[in-house]
Structure 1
């Protein structure tokens, strides 16, 4: 009996000891690995190799192995012992749960599970945005507050303060989801949000270009699952979601910047050096190496450390992050911020890697330059780039030269050799420089520029001319939230906050709700109704999507061009004068052909094309020829 009690005690003692050991072992493993990125991956990718970053205190002292007969292709250790980069080959590996073991002295110290997930059906061949779409640009913090509970977050420094024009106001993903019908009613088919990943800057974090975690949606906007839900809800409405991706820099508060994997993760000079923004040096055959280096390697601003994409680990990290978001959130495209501030070769490789995985995926780069040669150089298959043996692999660029002309042309009341409507003629006359002019983003304004309504002093006639141009020229039109209800803002006096004001009706207690027809003022309705009718017409007109364009040299500050296919012709007529103009039609017989009349798509008025057209002062007319 006594011996039985002793045996029972020993058994019980060792069971407790085993449990304690297991608990300590688990706690040790949990403490050892603080982050794994990508947090999971997908089976069946065209590039089967995935670089997994394990982060934890002194993790580099361990040797890694992985289950399921998965091959480890490479293990990279840096001067920081808190990082271990393990590259595995997932070729022919099914969706499954892998287990990484970390050994020291041939003994397993801890393990880490890692999931390979199943991809969505036909994920690789997803359709992206193109010239049949209209893109609507939103600054999420300023659009609509759909979830009052996430306005501030205890883990993040800046709290909501709607009284501060440059503070966080509480707009979020839920607010966008709740107003998708409004955006669709405008005729927009695609949404580009400024970045949504976490930005833990002490102030001005609402714009989110100084990201502190690129695998995590900022909790003040919502969760990663909320972001995926936004895409899902948009897809139900045949809409597309574009992510604003940043390759050039992170925020100074990014968790990796606080504990750099390696000094070469960032571009650093002996003393702080800021880019000079003169990106002409990147294509200039006479440029000094110093000027080129400062342009690419200099920091954008002190709060945005410059990423060194020449470091292959960094380049792989950013490539995988981009692909991870496409798969996870089911994205339809990218807009890439400050595109040509990064190393050109590294960016070409990044774009190639993304479009190899997704052959139809569109990416538009922010190339903020002011002549067509410098813009066209950066579009995929550019003959200008070929002069320097360079191909960016970037499908699309933003048409900043057209933006420049839109900002002044409609104020040129009297014509001369190169002002007024000639500005547009000259702009499009250089389209031969672009490898694909149909696939460039055309816009009058965005979150960094002057508001078009402020530029034109809220003149509705000029607003109509601007929007008519965007709706009917080649390329992908992009609208900026709020302009369609007459929103403006003086950037010269109020800075960026002035052009990023809250959308009326997006917050509880707003007395004006412009999201609904009943809630709009008469002035807001005037802007909205015109914009909605114009861009909803555009949705179904193939001639202005991918049709050819023929334009005629402007005369007397009038400008006429045609968009046409084999079956449909659209005639667009601008009168930029302050007086009525009569335009003789025999000059345009090349395109009018046997058409007898044209119907104004906005008013329904029919114009006889036999001899002449009478145009009202400061007006634009879009005619479907009959």
Structure 2
């Protein structure tokens, strides 16, 4: 009898187990009111499910895996409350608590990032180590090892928080850290794009509560937080890979087959279906299984996860990794669901393509995509055309001809008509996946010209951490080399570049020009939303005006090594009745009645009076 009782007790305990509930909680008064809760546990689908407090269950979906059950409840017109789900099978039952929380005031209409912002991009593992005690953690495989170029170094959320004043002082208004959710890969996990749990911050960065603290600390400084979100793939060590909800939760060939990386097949009217399918269904690499967004359960899971993080961490925007690598109809549904929930929420798509038309295809209300009756609903795209020109060395082309030198800038901006919202463009010289701009251009003069361009053209400027002190690195050495430690971020560093006293004279030169440019830009509506008029370059000098009804800024960019004289009458239509211009960088005034001389390899940003 005793043996039977013990066996019954063990069976009951096993029966009662719920290992995961996702989303872990929800909110009342949400646009997404039909919340689909995933319950995971041994043979959980064998049970009947009910819920307390008169909440309506709108659907119960089971899959071929009995360890999952997806329960959809109607939370419309409900109050914040604690619910109890009951799982019953014959004479045995168990319960699971679930909370509906109150939303933050005016959460739906939160303000997001826009062209008035400057975004500071950093890789958390390589920026600053604020808490050495979490450098390694027993729950994840890879431990800290700063001797490896692609090892984990220990940077974390605490490190970011401790240096927010430095970032703000530089002129940044918005922080974009690369992904922070758990990445349990055996190696190279520091970049965190192969996530193993999308509801949990990686313990080597901190906790979910630490992430909320980062958001609060930014908001206390009138700054914003962008989450780097990945819709296309997870990690091979994601917990679902060990026990898939459905066989087609991930794309199977069966198993692994690499993408052909040809996302132009989305719009290519001549593309074969075979190539189209491989572009979006193939895996990036073996360690990153490709999510099947065509599966309604997967798509809804991603929608709810995105909304959950926005509401929970009070986020101000998303940057979405590898946006065109997903099924294009599904990613449009995901984007629309998020922006329906938060109408002012900005999402930036990483559409890494090499033509203006192809990039424009992915911006909301694109006339090019409309030809195929498609709308991504994604407000912002990244200007990879400009970044490519810079990375390929346009500023090294000191002689101008029809298609070399600063003519390339003129030509790229002449395609602005293709974009439905030209102010919603990420403009950047580099990021965590490209060559360091200070590697491409080792000379300070080229950096100054580059930053002047990024700070004054249309769009949303983004700066990559460390460039403002001259940090360099080469992808030829390895990705880890373009993601070096920020000097002063670790206790054993010999210098602290977070402080003026700790910077070398050369580092301070870079920092000073960056700080001056982006702090000036903060309050310049003419740059945030003004129009542009540019002039065909002559003698490798590019001139453009940013203007609105109130003011005008003239930018003169001399990429020639020789001093150049500008015939001021050539620009009379843009100068109009203004008689002088004051340079933002030097405070020097110029008489616009006379021709302007500009030194070789230099830039003038003239506020016209």
TM-score range, shorter chain: over 0.9
* Partner residue in 2 for 1:439: 424
* Partner residue in 2 for 1:352: 336
- Relative distance call for 1:108 and 1:126 in structure 2 (3 A) is farther
* Partner residue in 1 for 2:66: 81
**2-side partners of 1:24 and 1:440: how far apart?**
61
1:330, distance to aligned residue in structure 2 (A): 0.4
* Partner residue in 2 for 1:427: 412
**2-side partners of 1:249 and 1:36: how far apart?**
21
**2-side partners of 1:362 and 1:177: how far apart?**
23
**Which runs of structure 2 are paired with 1:327-338 in the superposition (5 Å)?**
327-338=311-322
Asked if residue 54 in structure 1 is aligned to residue 51 in structure 2, the reply is no
Alignment match of 2:189 (pick from 205, 216, 228): 205
Cα offsets for 1:257-280 (capped at 9, x unmatched) = 111000010111136310011111
**1-side partners of 2:499 and 2:73: how far apart?**
52
Asked if structure 2 preserves the Cα contact closer than 8 Å seen for 1:28 and 1:110, the reply is no
* Partner residue in 2 for 1:574: 557
* Partner residue in 1 for 2:510: 527
1:558, distance to aligned residue in structure 2 (A): 0.7
**Which runs of structure 2 are paired with 1:150-549 in the superposition (5 Å)?**
150-270=134-254, 272-407=256-391, 408-456=393-441, 458-492=442-476, 494-549=477-532
**1-side partners of 2:125 and 2:551: how far apart?**
42
**1-side partners of 2:354 and 2:302: how far apart?**
28
**2-side partners of 1:308 and 1:333: how far apart?**
24
1:108, distance to aligned residue in structure 2 (A): 5.2
Asked if structure 1 preserves the Cα contact closer than 8 Å seen for 2:323 and 2:351, the reply is yes
Asked if structure 2 preserves the Cα contact closer than 8 Å seen for 1:25 and 1:110, the reply is no
* Partner residue in 2 for 1:39: 24
**2-side partners of 1:57 and 1:359: how far apart?**
40
Asked if structure 1 preserves the Cα contact closer than 8 Å seen for 2:12 and 2:92, the reply is no
* Partner residue in 2 for 1:149: 133
Asked if structure 2 preserves the Cα contact closer than 8 Å seen for 1:26 and 1:110, the reply is no
Secondary structure of the residue that 1:103 maps to in structure 2? strand
Asked if structure 2 preserves the Cα contact closer than 8 Å seen for 1:29 and 1:111, the reply is no
Cα offsets for 1:500-521 (capped at 9, x unmatched) = 0000000012101000111111
Asked if structure 1 preserves the Cα contact closer than 8 Å seen for 2:14 and 2:42, the reply is no
* Partner residue in 2 for 1:4: none
Asked if residue 588 in structure 1 is aligned to residue 605 in structure 2, the reply is no
1:25, distance to aligned residue in structure 2 (A): 9.6
**2-side partners of 1:582 and 1:166: how far apart?**
49
Secondary structure of the residue that 2:423 maps to in structure 1? helix
**1-side partners of 2:153 and 2:460: how far apart?**
30
**2-side partners of 1:349 and 1:490: how far apart?**
38
Secondary structure of the residue that 1:336 maps to in structure 2? strand
**2-side partners of 1:353 and 1:207: how far apart?**
27
Higher gyration radius (CA): 1
* Partner residue in 1 for 2:53: 68
* Partner residue in 1 for 2:584: 601
* Partner residue in 2 for 1:559: 542
Q: Which moved more, 1:404-413 or 1:119-128?
A: 404-413
Asked if structure 1 preserves the Cα contact closer than 8 Å seen for 2:175 and 2:224, the reply is yes
Secondary structure of the residue that 1:420 maps to in structure 2? coil
Secondary structure of the residue that 1:567 maps to in structure 2? coil
With normalisation by structure 1, the TM-score equals 0.95
Secondary structure of the residue that 2:478 maps to in structure 1? helix
**1-side partners of 2:366 and 2:12: how far apart?**
55
Consecutive aligned runs of 4 or more in structure 1 exceeding 4 Å deviation: 23-27
Cα offsets for 1:27-77 (capped at 9, x unmatched) = 827951000000000111012100000000000100111111111111110
**2-side partners of 1:575 and 1:608: how far apart?**
19
**1-side partners of 2:549 and 2:574: how far apart?**
12
- Relative distance call for 1:528 and 1:27 in structure 2 (3 A) is farther
**2-side partners of 1:469 and 1:615: how far apart?**
16
CA RMSD of aligned residues (A): 1.5
1:566, distance to aligned residue in structure 2 (A): 0.8
Alignment match of 1:610 (pick from 583, 587, 593): 593
Cα offsets for 1:228-249 (capped at 9, x unmatched) = 0000000010100000000000
1:342, distance to aligned residue in structure 2 (A): 0.3
**1-side partners of 2:264 and 2:140: how far apart?**
38
Secondary structure of the residue that 2:461 maps to in structure 1? strand
**2-side partners of 1:24 and 1:461: how far apart?**
75
* Partner residue in 2 for 1:120: 104
**1-side partners of 2:155 and 2:13: how far apart?**
40
Secondary structure of the residue that 1:624 maps to in structure 2? strand
Secondary structure of the residue that 1:611 maps to in structure 2? coil
Asked if structure 1 preserves the Cα contact closer than 8 Å seen for 2:363 and 2:420, the reply is yes
**2-side partners of 1:127 and 1:189: how far apart?**
13
1:449, distance to aligned residue in structure 2 (A): 0.2
With normalisation by structure 2, the TM-score equals 0.98
1:581, distance to aligned residue in structure 2 (A): 0.2
1:587, distance to aligned residue in structure 2 (A): 1.1
Asked if structure 2 preserves the Cα contact closer than 8 Å seen for 1:167 and 1:206, the reply is yes
**2-side partners of 1:490 and 1:262: how far apart?**
42
Secondary structure of the residue that 2:338 maps to in structure 1? helix
Aligned length: 604
Asked if structure 2 preserves the Cα contact closer than 8 Å seen for 1:249 and 1:305, the reply is yes
Gaps of 5+ in 2: none
**1-side partners of 2:12 and 2:111: how far apart?**
45
**1-side partners of 2:136 and 2:375: how far apart?**
44
**2-side partners of 1:204 and 1:150: how far apart?**
17
